[in-house]
Amino acid sequence: MLRRIVRLFAAFVMVMSGVVAGTVATAGTAHADGCYTWSRTLSQGASGSDVTQLQIRLGGYPGYGSVLAVDGSFGPATAAALKRFQSAYGLAADGVAGPNTYNKLYALQDDDCTPIHFSYAELNRCNSDWSGGAVSAATAKSNALRTMWKLEALRHALGDQPIRVTSGFRSYSCNSAVGGSSSSRHLYGDAADLGAGSHSLCTMAKQARYHGFRGILGPGYPDHNDHTHLDHRSSQFWSAPTCGV
């Protein structure tokens, strides 16, 4: 809530500054951002680090059963994901990333590049420096960031009601302490366990199929009756028999 208030105040200041200068800031003018600022319009055929940054934020909009590649190349899949994102937020769904799209992304992210409704602390209650897992600390943290943007898309699709993350990255020692599998995706930083709250476990397991998660485990799968597990494993495996997934 505090972060939302700060952003609303910042938007008010920006508009008032435009009024004082004799112009009014509009949705068609993108502003600089504390996390990342795009400097050009992006569409199919573009490539580069700015496309990569866009793809990270569109990771939750690949379509049913799909995963959006984060490869810095703006192809048809990225355009389709962008259109879904634009439609979800009431923007013109033209598959072109310009000022209106960027302003919405700026409004959705904090200065550390996490989406406004999730944080690194939520995705790591185990080892604050992200070390001790199956990948380097930098990779684990990067994987968690991509997971958070998928969760942000899931949250929005479910009516912008809170989603409760009960577990994220684990070091080997943390994973062993909670009885996790030796091959758990939590060791890679790309997994999140969700507890029931605003939504049932089955509701989240079913909706997650649209938001870029290759691994979905929930009620009816052994040891998953009290949470829904989402991850980014190498191949698709969905099992929540109680939910029909």
- Active-site residue set: 224
Count CB-CB contacts under 10 A for residue 128. 10
Q: Which residues pair with 192 in a beta bridge?
A: 230
Could you give the count of Cα atoms lying within 13 Å of 115 in the half-sphere of its Cβ? 26
Residue 35: closest CA among 138, 149, 203, 134:
149
150 and 211 in contact (C-beta within 8 Å)? yes
Asked if 227 and 168 touch (Cβ cutoff 8 Å), the reply is: no
| Segment holding 10, helix H or strand E | helix 2-20
Spatial contact of 201 and 239, defined as CB atoms under 8 Å apart: no
Counting other chains too, the contacts that 52-57 makes at CB distance below 8 Å and 24 or more residues apart are 54/78, 54/82, 54/97, 54/105, 55/81, 56/145, 56/146, 56/149, 57/85, 57/105, 57/108, 57/109, 57/149
Are the C-beta atoms of 58 and 96 separated by less than 8 Å?
no
**HSE-up of 145 (CA within 13 Å, CB side)?**
20
